[in-house]
Structure 1
């Protein structure tokens, strides 16, 4: 009986510490120097971090579900995805800026650093980072767990839909940026 009580206390503290970790990452970014970002961009970044944190915490909870916790290969894959997703908190690629408005068409054709403007603006790198580090792999992992391992619940369905929708929107946004870039360079 005492052993069971100690284990449940440990489990509760572990969950609390996991949640505090994500909050510390968000608050730490808020208090860190903002560099070139204005307040609007910083608040967008912080809102994004809160969403990322919720998704990452759910990944940790999935690893603890019965059926997954006893399969060490699946648990290690989930922990690798968790670790990779945490790296996003070190990147500040989410800052985007509107394309400069020019009245002179020659300005849009002017080479920057000896070449035309890069097709991969910071917003594209941000989208690719989210797509490759979190939403894509999380979607695949969740689909594998739900279809292959029959681990499914309401929260899993919600996050599968969330990740699928996010992947679609990120790909759509990359296409929009690419099309806008091609129009500006023609």
Structure 2
């Protein structure tokens, strides 16, 4: 039996025909992925000029995963991205970050040791310029420029990608926050790796690059989605679990935890190590260390405010429910709506 149109629509996607905003979502998803592809190609081109190897072009295989996921999103979600996680940005980071690691390490070796390039011509050194898209810069300048482009691509990509359940107000707040996050990440990688005490120590360089890489993965998470309220179950144990989960697993709470664990906390530890152990005397380093301390304190305070507010709300709800039950047993007008868990008009008019 040949399935009709309704059965096909029920099998693929949301069970409805394609609409105008669905085509817009698909176009936005395609533009964002083309933006990721362009940056990966530029990084691979610079890698081939500096390292004189074509291995970086194998990173383009990960881009096939991005477009395969795009086709899956078209079929299942009409082009909208996943609710909590962005697989396209993860694949983009996995494709571009290893190349940037190698370029940065090579540029530091050139700067410290003055090593020569082994590209056929022994007289050709790696301190020469590279030309990509008509722009001619040194290898070290290209390394910094590609890191800067990476952050711009991440922020613009998050803006272009279809938002799904995230509202325009939420995405605008998210982008403003991520611009500040990107500036801190860029300063950490570029200024930290250019310190004289760091350039000659490969172990410290690897630690800084590892922390920098971990901080980038927070762009793969979408922590602005607010859960919709669902009807409450009658099971008291389930109600207690929902109360605890709502208090500890709120979206803003997770956002604070992720930012502190992936960025401000590790950045602070590295900067304290550079100042105390490596005895690095740098005003910008001290300023950003104090800034990380202040941000962590404010985030802890915000976390305490959120948890305290949720506890007060739960406490007030329990007291209100008990008072309503007492008045209901006494035969007064106030009643408890067991299905919605709200007070009927008339209860608040009575003084307790």
What TM-score bracket applies, with the shorter chain setting the length?
A: 0.7 to 0.9
Match of 1:104 in 2: none
Match of 1:164 in 2: 293
Mark the CA change 1:152 to 1:116 in structure 2 (over 3 Å): closer, same or farther: same
Segments of 5+ residues of structure 2 without an aligned counterpart are 1-123, 130-136, 316-352
Say yes or no: does 1:88 pair with 2:214: no
Say yes or no: does 1:11 pair with 2:140: yes
Q: How does 1:12-27 map to 2 (within 5 A)?
A: 12-27=141-156
Match of 1:116 in 2: 242
CA distance in 1 between counterparts of 2:183 and 2:310 reads: 33
Per-residue deviation, 1:15: 1.1
Segments of 5+ residues of structure 1 without an aligned counterpart are 101-106
Contact 2:215 2:263 in 1 (8 A): yes
Q: How does 1:64-143 map to 2 (within 5 A)?
A: 64-93=194-223, 95=224, 114=239, 115-117=241-243, 118=245, 119=247, 120-143=249-272
Give the root-mean-square deviation of aligned CA atoms: 2.7
CA distance in 2 between counterparts of 1:3 and 1:19 reads: 25
Segment drifting more, 60-69 vs 77-86: 60-69
Per-residue deviation, 1:172: 0.5
Per-residue deviation, 1:116: 3.0
Say yes or no: does 1:152 pair with 2:289: no
Contact 2:189 2:209 in 1 (8 A): yes
Runs of 4+ in 1 over 2 A off after TM superposition: 2-5, 110-117
- TM-score, normalised to structure 1, is 0.84
Match of 2:133 in 1: none
Q: How many residues align?
A: 177
CA distance in 1 between counterparts of 2:146 and 2:295 reads: 27
Contact 2:166 2:225 in 1 (8 A): no
CA distance in 1 between counterparts of 2:201 and 2:236 reads: 54
Match of 1:39 in 2: 168
CA distance in 1 between counterparts of 2:206 and 2:307 reads: 36
Over alpha carbons, which structure has the higher Rg? Answer: 2
